[in-house]
Every structure is written in C-alpha cells, then in structure tokens.
C-alpha cells in the first residue's frame, strides 16, 4: 500500500483560484463516500481550510490516485478542473506523513505556528471518521499528527507572541490592562475585529462592547462569541467614561472617533485609557493622543513588535522540525513493523528458539536417544500452533493487507516485539 497526498495550497495557488476548488461540507461528504467506495482506495481524508485543500489517501500501489482524483473533481465541480490540473501537487510515501505532521505543527502555515490549523486537522479527521473513511492506518496516522502538533506547541515557542495585527493589538491591551476588572470596546465586526474579540474573550476580559456601523453584523459576532454587548457608532463617545481600552478595526474611509466628539469627556478624565487603532485608513484622529489620559498606538507602532515576534518564531523552526522528524520516524517504524514477511520470520524464529530452549531445559529427564526426539516434538508443536496465525497473515498479498491483517500484525508486535517496533 502507499500513502498519497494530492492538493493545492496558498504557497502555489492564489486565493482567487483556490476559491474555485473549494467544497461545501455536503460536497466533501459526498466525495469522501464516493472515493472510499473506489476499489484500490482503503482510506481517505480531506483537509480544507482557507489556505489549503488536501486529499490524504491510503491506497493500493498499483492505483493511480492522482488521475482518479482529477476526474472526480472535474465531474463534481467543472470550474475546478483547470485549477486542479495547473496547481495541484502530489506526494507519496514517507513525505506525506512528514507533511501532515508539519501542517499539524503549524510549520506549513501562512502564519508560522498558528494554533487554528491543529483544530482544523482534527476536524478533517473527525469528518472522515464519521463517514468511516479513516480506518486502522489513518487512526494511528492522525493521532500521531495530533501528538506532533501538541509537542511542537508545548516544547517550542513557535506559537508564542502575536504575528497578526489584530492579535498584537489584543496582546498590547492585555499587557497594559487588568482584564479581570476591565471593560473594553472593539470597533468593527470584520475578520480582524473578530480575531481580536476572540482573544479578549479567551483571556478573560470582564466586559466587552462591540460597536459597528451595521449593528446586525456586530450582533452576529456577539452571538458567535457568546459574549459582548452591541452598541452603535454614535454611542462610543458617551461610553468613554467607563472604558479601559478601545481597539479600532473598521473599513471606514474617515475616522469614527473624532477629536470634537470626545474633547469634553477626555479633557476631564483622569483614569488612563488605551486606544489601539489598527485600521487603514485610521479610525482615530491623531489629535486625540494629546490628552494626558490617552495612551494611543496605531498599526505602525505594532508592526515593529510583529516583526520581532516573527523572528522569534523563525528561530524555533529547527527545534520544531526535529520534533516532527522524531514523530515521523516513530510512525514509519510502526508502519514498517506491519510488513508480513519480516513478522512471520520473527515469529517463526521466536517459536523455534522457544522450542529449543524448552527442549534443552527438560533434556536431562530423557534418555540420550530420546533427546533429539524431544527437540523435534517441541519444534513441531510450535509450528502447528503458529500455522493458523501465519496462514491468516499470508491470506492477502503482502502489499494489499486487509484491515484485519493489519490489526493482527499490530497486536502481534505489541505482544511479542514491542521493543523492536519502538512502541
């Protein structure tokens, strides 16, 4: 059997093209079931994120998975045919395993070390389990991937420190404000604003306000977060008296926080207020930072921090890759241990050694002429005992082991050869 990966990603395929090849959850489920029903394909999983669409296969060595998938995608989504033929790449063997582990570790992400990808890998596996397209080998493969991702994140600093502007803004707020008693306002309801809100909620912000020109979008964001009171842009000024910080991230073409609107409140305020403006064009008029109570940052102020954080993450890559290699080698050792011929030889050798050992142990109780017969008897008994298990393992071609044979091989290894397989 062989491991095969076929897919497209942000590294080679622009988003405008990836969009043409994206699948709805219903389409993915349909693909999983149809592909798994194809003779020659034993297991399949689909990993789809905003940056990649990857098909993982465990298939017969004689089956052309790549060409089959191209035809299947063309039939389901004709507009994706040209995209897939131009941009898709295929990997086979050990490099597929290594790639999956690197993806789970955040090493193949557009944002190095991101955490979200690990949950997306888990989601892809869960979907394949629900439709029974991941079986014995993929169960072990994906759980190794989860372990790899967790180890990289706990044993290195590759996901520490924000490298996106919205997370950097939220981290800057957390560094300067006590979240356990603070009230914060996020202005905007787009992708960056949502990411900032998620970080604030995750890190225990006591009270969150969300302001947006379109209140229904803000209300939708609040529902997804399970937290956050929604206000209109016109209510921001009156809320300044009780806010500890503001993060602004809208697509407005002119400032949403103007000097004239806040002068009266901020000129009388003694308690510090942090204002972080990550919008382009800026949401906050520059003149507002002249108030003594205001500590204000814009996107340029945060970019320097982000560059430093990126450098810190890059320095962790060699350590992360060593962890990936360790888990890749461990998985490959386990998978190689399932090969039938070496296992049968080891099992037979172990049986013969046991027979000779036991015959020698009791030889002194037999007449010299009968000792050779005792040895032959012991070896014959072991061979008969092992005959059925070995016949079962030989039931299929070595390269086309069924799931039951693989499970038996794994069980034999655990019972008799655990030290050899590294388990």
Answer yes or no: do 12 and 154 share one domain: yes
Residue 389: what pLDDT?
A: 72
Answer yes or no: do 138 and 45 share one domain: yes
Residue 422: what pLDDT?
A: 44
Query: Torsion angle, CA of 74/80/81/85, rounded to 10 degrees?
Result: -130
State how many domains the chain has. Answer: 3
Residue 308: what pLDDT?
A: 84
Answer yes or no: do 195 and 70 share one domain: no
What element of type H or E holds 276?
strand 273-277
* CATH, residue 26: 3.30.460.30
* CATH, residue 245: 3.40.50.720
Residue 63 tokens, joined? 């089956």
How many residues appear in the chain?
423
Answer yes or no: do 154 and 76 share one domain: yes
DSSP β-bridge partners for residue 2: 59
Answer yes or no: do 144 and 260 share one domain: no
Residue 82: what pLDDT?
A: 93
What is d(CA 40, CA 43) in angstroms, rounded to the nearest whole number?
Answer: 9
3-state secondary structure of 47: strand
What are the strands of the beta sheet with 229-231, ordered from one edge? 229-231, 207-211, 183-187, 245-248, 273-277, 294-298
What is d(CA 130, CA 247) in angstroms, rounded to the nearest whole number?
Answer: 41
Read off the pLDDT of residues 34-88 as tens digits, 9 standing for 90 and up: 999 999 999 999 999 888 999 999 999 999 999 999 999 999 999 999 999 999 9
Strands 41-48 and 52-59: antiparallel
Residue 227 tokens, joined? 């937290």
Query: Torsion angle, CA of 289/292/296/301, rounded to 10 degrees?
Result: 90
Answer yes or no: do 197 and 266 share one domain: yes
Query: Is 113 buried (19+), middle (13-18) or exposed (0-12) by CB count in 10 A?
Result: buried
Rounded percentage of the chain residues whose pLDDT exceeds 90: 64
Answer yes or no: do 149 and 16 share one domain: yes
Residue 194 tokens, joined? 């949502």
Closest by CA to 418, choosing from 334, 347, 328, is 334
17-21, 199-203, 255-259, 304-308: least confident range: 304-308
3-state secondary structure of 265: helix
Answer yes or no: do 343 and 326 share one domain: no
Answer yes or no: do 354 and 323 share one domain: no
Measure the N-to-C terminal CA separation of the chain; round to a whole number of Å.
Answer: 22
Boundaries of domain holding 350: 339-421
Answer yes or no: do 249 and 190 share one domain: yes
Given the residues 50, 74, 242, 293, the one annotated as active site: 50
3-state secondary structure of 214: coil
Which residues lie closer than 8 Å to 405 by C-beta, 6 or more apart? 340, 392, 393, 395, 396
Read off the pLDDT of residues 93-151 as tens digits, 9 standing for 90 and up: 999 999 999 999 999 988 888 888 999 999 999 999 999 999 989 999 999 999 999 99
Indicate the average pLDDT of the chain: 89
- CB neighbourhood size of 12 (10 A): 12
Q: Per the confidence metrics, is the pTM higher than 0.75?
A: no
Answer yes or no: do 365 and 296 share one domain: no
Answer yes or no: do 118 and 183 share one domain: no
Read off the pLDDT of residues 224-233 as tens digits, 9 standing for 90 and up: 999 999 999 9
Which residues lie closer than 8 Å to 234 by C-beta, 6 or more apart? none
Query: Torsion angle, CA of 72/73/74/79, rounded to 10 degrees?
Result: 170
- 50 is an active site residue: yes
């Amino acid at each position: 059997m062989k491991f095969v990966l076929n897919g497209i990603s942000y590294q080679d395929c622009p988003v405008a093209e990836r969009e043409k090849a994206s699948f709805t959850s219903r389409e993915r489920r349909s693909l999983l079931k149809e592909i798994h029903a194809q003779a020659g394909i034993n297991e399949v999983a689909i990993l789809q994120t905003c940056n990649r669409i990857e098909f993982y296969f465990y298939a017969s060595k004689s089956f052309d998975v790549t060409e089959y998938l191209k035809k299947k995608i063309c039939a389901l989504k004709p507009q994706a045919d040209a995209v897939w033929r131009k941009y898709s790449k295929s990997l086979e063997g050990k490099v597929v395993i290594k790639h999956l582990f690197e993806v789970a570790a955040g090493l193949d992400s557009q944002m190095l070390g991101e955490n979200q990808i690990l949950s997306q890998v888990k989601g892809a596996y869960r979907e394949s389990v629900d439709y029974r397209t991941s079986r014995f080998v993929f169960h072990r493969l994906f759980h190794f991937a989860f372990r790899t991702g967790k180890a990289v994140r706990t044993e290195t600093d590759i996901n520490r420190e924000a490298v996106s502007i919205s997370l950097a803004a939220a981290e800057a707020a957390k560094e300067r404000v006590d979240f356990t008693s603070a009230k914060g306002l996020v202005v905007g309801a787009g992708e960056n604003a949502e990411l900032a809100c998620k970080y604030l909620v995750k890190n225990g912000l006591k009270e969150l306000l969300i302001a947006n020109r379109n209140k229904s979008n803000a209300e939708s964001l609040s529902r997804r977060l399970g937290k956050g009171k929604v206000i209109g842009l016109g209510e921001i000024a009156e809320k300044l008296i009780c806010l500890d910080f503001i993060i602004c991230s809208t697509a407005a073409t002119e400032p949403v926080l103007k000097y004239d609107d806040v002068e009266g409140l901020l000129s009388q305020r003694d308690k510090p207020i942090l204002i972080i403006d990550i919008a382009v064009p800026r949401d906050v008029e520059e003149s507002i930072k002249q108030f003594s109570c205001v500590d204000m940052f814009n996107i340029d102020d945060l970019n320097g921090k982000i560059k430093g954080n990126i450098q810190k993450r890059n320095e962790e890559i060699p350590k992360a890759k060593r962890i990936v290699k360790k888990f890749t080698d461990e998985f490959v050792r386990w998978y190689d241990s399932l090969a039938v011929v070496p296992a049968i030889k080891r099992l037979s050798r172990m049986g013969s050694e046991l027979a000779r050992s036991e015959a020698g142990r009791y030889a002194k109780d037999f007449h010299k002429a009968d000792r050779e017969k005792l040895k032959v008897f012991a070896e014959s008994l072991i061979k008969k005992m092992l005959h059925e298990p070995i016949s079962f393992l030989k039931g299929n071609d070595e390269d086309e082991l069924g799931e039951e044979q693989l499970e038996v091989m794994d069980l034999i290894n655990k019972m008799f050869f655990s030290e050899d397989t590294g388990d």
